[in-house]
């Protein structure tokens, strides 16, 4: 096996998933080791559960995938575990790598030896390594639309960079050999080709940042330039499914396969961060607006259609038929983070989107054991809906296409990277969590202690140790106009950040009073309904919390009804008065009298917790008067 230190982390290379060095990056990320999330808080608890259970669960379930590498070598007769199983291995390696970078754990060293050793042995003399193509004797790069070869390379690169930043360089040697092959085949001056599933673009940019090899950035830029020129044979799926319908700089609406669109957007934002090209960031602003202002579910999920796992039209947001794939929310975290680093517009909107996703769609995607997952997370489960494909009634331990569990594992392992950045000689805090942050020396050094139970509680206490002072930029969420700092009304700047000089301790109080929310009037599926939010947390109602004689679908609420909090372990539950409408005698008929309804007290719980007590009916949006 290649010497693990053969390409070890370069001096000065920080351990973080995105480390832009170009002129367009206003915000600079912190080293993963500089942000320590405490397990007492929800984000820290997610990381601890991920390290203790989820990564090991992924490793155990990827045994067939590793056996398939042995089949390529003639050492096994294992069946094909799926044509993207390689990427599940790579994402799990990346998850382990960020845990190693964060904590120094050696828990998975034996598995990494096995996995990296197999990948290296399967790689041919050209640098190519895609097991299902090699095992079945298929021609390399003959089916760019569907073979996912460059998509696999993208995840291999990201795993290799992460592992190298954690101190182990053998996988990077393998990834670079494959990347060099693609550069020889498809780089500037060579033949044109793009992958049917975007993802390689953002990975190539990070490989450029990590190695300093400009050709990787140029290859990513070429792939961005080529998309939309009709290079792919799109067939019945259509060009929009592959984001090959329009030039990246001209596309102004998010369309087609939601995960692919958001990975492409992240890659384009990465290229902008290194080149500063105005046309790219202008296009990404339009894409961001399309995604978040017209096509995002309240929970931070994306994908209105099961067909094509796709975005729908503007304001097409059906709750019960939402595809809402976990990987789409993960891809959007990557997109938002790169837009935040650019700082071309207010970082607050990007951070608020990430916060919504983490505390709702992504928190709901895994259960309390860390071993059962949602691939798709609808906002309404009908009592008689059957499980289908990747949208089951209850979380599953694994999936035939298991892209989401290892993707979730790698994201959670790197959560600390998204808490804060350095910008304009200040430390900007984007996500609130119980944590300690090592302040960079250029800002005065010391440690910033953030003491909070957020989002269960809105009090955020910040204390500076070991330094005389620190310039801070604290995000004030858009839902907290009554925020206070040290008992006085907070006055954030236009970009949504409150700026202050911290010399000892300060307290930020955010109003977490629960509130009723309505949807835009063009969202037909949500018209006449209301939802409940408390801070960044979306609530839902489950059948299990209603009396036996009250069907959830018969509950009618009054938007504005008082919402009472009930403390528990973590986030509170909420109760409110509502009405139960009598069942109608037929499918259609004249309007019924409102007075026929009877009163009922309804309990709402955080959306992230739904389905933990069975797969009964659930609603986020409730019929309202």
Contact 449, 500 (CB under 8 A): no
- pLDDT value at residue 346: 81
Question: Coil, strand, or helix at residue 408?
Answer: helix
Whether residue 12 is contained in a domain is answered as: no
Tens digits of residue pLDDT in 472-497: 999 999 999 999 999 999 999 999 99
Q: How many structural domains comprise the chain? A: 3
Let me know whether 550 and 442 are in one domain. Answer: no
pTM: 0.97
Let me know whether 390 and 475 are in one domain. Answer: no
Half-sphere exposure at residue 52, Cβ-oriented, CA atoms within 13 angstroms = 10
Whether residue 15 is contained in a domain is answered as: no
Let me know whether 293 and 398 are in one domain. Answer: yes
In whole angstroms, what is the distance from residue 287 CA to residue 272 CA?
14
Whether residue 9 is contained in a domain is answered as: no
The active-site residue, picked from 199, 309, 355, 542, is: 309
Whether residue 11 is contained in a domain is answered as: no
Let me know whether 521 and 496 are in one domain. Answer: no
Q: Which of 480, 509, 538 is the last residue of a domain?
A: 509
Whether residue 162 is contained in a domain is answered as: yes
Let me know whether 504 and 530 are in one domain. Answer: no
Q: What range defines the domain where residue 472 resides?
A: 426-509
Residue 607 corresponds to which tokens in the numbers above?
């959306």
In whole angstroms, what is the distance from residue 405 CA to residue 92 CA?
9
Contact 271, 25 (CB under 8 A): no
Let me know whether 609 and 528 are in one domain. Answer: yes
Q: Which of 469, 494, 509 is the last residue of a domain?
A: 509
Annotated active-site residue 309? The verdict is yes
What DSSP designation does 557 have? B
Contact 221, 278 (CB under 8 A): no
Whether residue 1 is contained in a domain is answered as: no
Let me know whether 140 and 171 are in one domain. Answer: yes
Whether residue 478 is contained in a domain is answered as: yes
Q: Partners of 615 in the beta sheet? A: none
Let me know whether 472 and 530 are in one domain. Answer: no
Let me know whether 553 and 611 are in one domain. Answer: yes
Q: Which of 472, 490, 509 is the last residue of a domain?
A: 509
Work out the number of other CB atoms within 10 angstroms of the CB of residue 34: 21
Contact 615, 394 (CB under 8 A): yes
In whole angstroms, what is the distance from residue 551 CA to residue 549 CA?
6
Taking residues 107-129, what's their average pLDDT?
A: 98
Residue 316 corresponds to which tokens in the numbers above?
């097409």
Whether residue 499 is contained in a domain is answered as: yes
Let me know whether 134 and 214 are in one domain. Answer: yes
- At 403, which CATH number? 1.50.10.20
The active-site residue, picked from 58, 195, 327, 403, is: 403
Tens digits of residue pLDDT in 523-563: 999 999 999 999 999 999 999 999 999 999 999 999 999 99
> CA–CA distance from 412 to each of 14, 356, 416, 570, 605 (Å)?
18, 15, 8, 19, 23
- pLDDT value at residue 5: 39
- At 463, which CATH number? 2.60.420
Tens digits of residue pLDDT in 397-417: 999 999 999 999 999 999 999
Please name the residues in contact with 552: beta carbons below 8 A apart, sequence gap of 6 or more.
Answer: 383, 541, 542, 543, 546, 617, 618, 619
Tens digits of residue pLDDT in 566-588: 998 899 999 999 999 987 778 89
> CA–CA distance from 294 to each of 278, 298, 302, 477 (Å)?
24, 11, 11, 20
The answer, yes or no, to whether residue 50 has pLDDT greater than 50, is: yes
Let me know whether 463 and 531 are in one domain. Answer: no
Let me know whether 191 and 303 are in one domain. Answer: yes
């Amino acid at each position: 096996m290649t010497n693990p230190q053969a390409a070890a982390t370069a001096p000065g290379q920080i351990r973080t998933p995105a480390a832009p060095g170009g002129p367009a990056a206003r915000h600079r990320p912190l080293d993963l080791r500089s942000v320590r999330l405490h397990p007492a808080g929800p984000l820290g608890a997610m990381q601890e559960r991920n390290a203790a259970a989820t990564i090991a669960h992924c490793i155990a379930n990827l045994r067939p995938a590793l056996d398939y590498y042995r089949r390529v070598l003639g050492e096994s007769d294992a069946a094909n575990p799926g044509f993207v199983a390689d990427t599940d291995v790579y994402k799990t390696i990346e998850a382990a790598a960020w845990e190693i970078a964060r904590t120094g754990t050696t828990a998975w060293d034996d598995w990494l030896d096995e996995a990296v050793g197999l990948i290296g042995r399967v790689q041919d003399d050209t640098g190519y390594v895609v097991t299902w193509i090699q095992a079945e004797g298929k021609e390399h790069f003959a089916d760019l639309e569907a073979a996912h070869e460059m998509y696999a390379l993208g995840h291999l690169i990201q795993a290799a960079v992460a592992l190298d930043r954690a101190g182990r360089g053998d996988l990077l040697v393998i990834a670079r050999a494959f990347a060099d092959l693609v550069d020889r085949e498809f780089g500037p001056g060579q033949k044109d080709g793009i992958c049917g599933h975007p993802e390689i673009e953002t990975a190539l940019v990070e490989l450029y940042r990590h190695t300093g090899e400009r050709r990787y950035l140029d290859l990513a830029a070429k792939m961005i330039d080529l998309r939309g020129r009709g290079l792919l044979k799109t067939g019945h799926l259509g060009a929009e499914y592959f984001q090959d319908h329009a030039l990246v700089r001209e596309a102004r609406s998010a369309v087609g396969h939601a995960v692919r669109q958001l990975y492409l957007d992240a890659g384009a934002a990465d290229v902008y961060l290194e080149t500063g090209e105005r046309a790219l960031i202008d296009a990404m602003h339009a894409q961001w607006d399309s995604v978040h202002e017209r096509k995002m579910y309240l929970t931070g999920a994306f994908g209105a259609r099961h067909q094509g796992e796709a975005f729908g039209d503007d304001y097409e947001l059906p709750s019960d038929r939402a595809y809402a794939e976990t990987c789409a929310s993960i891809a959007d975290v990557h997109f938002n983070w790169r837009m935040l680093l650019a700082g071309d517009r207010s970082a607050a909107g990007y951070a608020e989107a990430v916060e919504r996703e983490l505390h709702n769609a992504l928190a709901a995607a895994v259960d309390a054991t860390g071993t059962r997952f949602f691939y798709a997370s609808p906002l309404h489960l009908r009592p008689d809906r059957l499980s289908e494909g990747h949208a089951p009634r209850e979380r599953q331990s694994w999936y035939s296409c298991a892209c989401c569990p290892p993707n979730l594992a790698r994201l959670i392992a790197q959560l600390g990277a998204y808490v804060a950045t350095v910008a304009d000689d200040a430390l900007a805090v984007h996500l609130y969590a119980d944590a300690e942050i090592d302040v960079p020396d250029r800002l005065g050094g010391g440690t910033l202690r953030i003491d909070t139970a957020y989002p269960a509680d809105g009090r955020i206490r910040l204390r500076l140790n070991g330094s005389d002072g620190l310039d801070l930029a604290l995000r004030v969420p858009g839902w907290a106009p009554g925020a206070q700092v040290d008992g006085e009304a907070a006055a954030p700047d236009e970009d949504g950040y409150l700026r202050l000089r911290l010399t000892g301790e300060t307290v930020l109080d955010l109003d977490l009073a629960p509130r009723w929310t309505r949807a835009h009037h063009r969202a037909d599926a949500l018209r006449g309904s209301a939802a409940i939010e408390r801070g960044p947390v979306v609530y839902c109602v489950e059948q299990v919390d209603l009396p036996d004689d009250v069907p959830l679908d018969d509950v009618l609420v009054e938007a504005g009804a008082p919402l009472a909090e009930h403390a528990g372990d973590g986030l509170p539950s909420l109760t409110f008065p509502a009405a139960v409408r009598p069942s109608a005698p037929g499918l259609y008929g004249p309007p019924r009298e409102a007075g026929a309804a009877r009163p009922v007290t309804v309990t709402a719980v955080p959306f992230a917790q739904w389905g933990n007590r069975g797969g009964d009916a659930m609603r986020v949006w409730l019929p309202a008067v």
